[in-house]
Amino acid sequence: MNIIRNIPGLLKLFWSIKGFDHYAKDIEKARATGDPEIERKEIAQDTWLWSGDVADKFGMKVLVKGQENIPERDGLVFISNHQGYADIIAMFRALKGKQIGFIAKDSLQKLPYFGKWITVIRGLYIQRGNAKEALKSIQEGSKLVKEGYNLVIFPEGTRSQGPEMAHFKAGSFKLATKAKAMIVPVTIQGSYHLFEEKGVIRPGTVRVQIHPPIDTATLDRKQIAEMEKQVEDTIRTSLKELIEEENNDR
């Protein structure tokens, strides 16, 4: 029954993703200039416009706090919990003015349009269960960050599909620490309401909290381990607060 009920939403989603082809051409032209700053600005502008259109079509409202914590510099790694598919749109809306690419599982690469879309915005695919290939992806991601591109990582490894947050997987921070990048923790609450909660695409509100950045450039191994725990604890604590805030607004 849910498949039938989702047909209108799935068609809108398909055409929304396909519609990004229009922006992809502009991004590829910007990339052809060889100037990373021009390319980043084009990606930031196009993903902002595109995500706004998608949010309007699906009745998605994004409430953002902490935008003042977004560093002006680039070469950032955003670390966030992952509740649902809508997290991608929520991140685009929350990080206005920033180019962001996503670290995604390699199985998504085969999806029509979406597979190309990830790479166009400077995202990367990582192959699970293959340590050698995963290391290659980490090295490639680290190189991108050093070149000034911004990446988003979901350390849980998969969607929680609800308010509960899983523990972050070991090695999730390697890309950021290898690049000696600045990490910006982000908490997302409510994205699962838009699909995962009922298995039906529907309108909803997503809350996003952006936390103060952490510079990893001078951290030693012990400090990195402490930082990883700190980031996870920060997101977990903030998630509880956002859930309470959501409940109070009902």
Spatial neighbors of 72 by CB under 8 A, at least 6 apart, are none
pLDDT at 16 over 90: no
pLDDT value at position 10? 64
* pLDDT per position as a tens digit, 93-110: 999 999 999 998 887 777
Q: If pLDDT is split at 50, 70 and 90, which confidence band does 4 have?
A: low
What value does the mean pLDDT take over residues 65-77?
A: 97
Q: What angle, 0 to 180 degrees and rounded to 10, lies between the N-to-C axes of helices 2-18 and 36-58? A: 150
**Largest alpha-carbon pair distance within the chain?**
54
pLDDT at 14 over 80: no
DSSP string, 173-229: THHHHHTTPEEEEEEEESGGGGTTTTTS---EEEEEEEPPPEE-TT--HHHHHHHHH
Percent of the chain scored above 90 by pLDDT?
77
Question: CA 103, CA 232: separation in Å to the nearest integer?
Answer: 18
Question: CA 151, CA 135: separation in Å to the nearest integer?
Answer: 16
Q: If pLDDT is split at 50, 70 and 90, which confidence band does 1 have?
A: very low
What value does the mean pLDDT take over residues 133-152?
A: 93
pLDDT value at position 107? 76
Residues 113 and 17: beta-carbon distance below 8 Å: yes
Delineate the domains of the chain, giving CATH numbers in brackets: 2-249 (3.40.1130)
Question: CA 90, CA 78: separation in Å to the nearest integer?
Answer: 13
3-state secondary structure of 149: coil
* pLDDT per position as a tens digit, 158-175: 999 999 999 999 889 999
Percent of the chain scored above 70 by pLDDT?
93
pLDDT value at position 3? 61
Select the more confidently predicted residue: 42 or 21.
Answer: 42
pTM (2 decimals)?
0.93
pLDDT value at position 6? 65
| End-to-end alpha carbon distance in the chain | 28
pLDDT at 111 over 70: yes
Give the mean pLDDT of the chain: 92
